[in-house]
Amino acid sequence: MTDSFVLYHNPRCSKSRAALELLQARGIAPQVVLYLETPPDAAALRDLLQRLDLAPRALLRTGEAVYSELGLADPVLDDEAIIAAMAAHPRLIERPILLHGTRAVVGRPTERLLDLLP
């Protein structure tokens, strides 16, 4: 069971650390993906978005400086441009994200992770 969970994690983020602690407290040792060190490519992001059932803009961290620098608030930008920006600048990806099977959730608030737990 534990090997079927994947956590997109940033150890410097308090929400991400809380997510990992919640999983470990329930006996789940997820595969941890340090996505800032090994960012997902565009294809992996498309798969992730499909599992999350989200549009690319919904996964953006709009408070990051690079969001403004790249002009990502521009409504003219299509989904592929947003995905390309997240692939090139993984700080833009909301976190933490837990994957299990064909589903995924963003752990904000952390309790949302419980939706995927047995």
List alpha helices for 1-118, DSSP H: 14-25, 42-52, 65-69, 79-88
- Cα 58 from chain centroid (whole Å): 11
Taking 80 as the threshold, does the pLDDT of residue 3 lie above it? no
Q: What is the pTM of this model?
A: 0.92
Domain 2-116 sits in CATH at 3.40.30.10
What is the greatest pairwise CA distance in the chain? 45
What is the separation, in whole angstroms, between the first and last Cα of the chain?
9
Query: How is the chain split into domains, by residue range?
Result: 2-116
Summarised one tens digit per residue, pLDDT across range 64-116 is 999 999 999 999 999 999 999 999 999 999 999 999 999 999 999 999 999 99
Summarised one tens digit per residue, pLDDT across range 14-70 is 999 999 999 999 999 999 999 999 999 999 999 999 999 999 999 999 999 999 999
Q: Which residues are catalytic?
A: 13
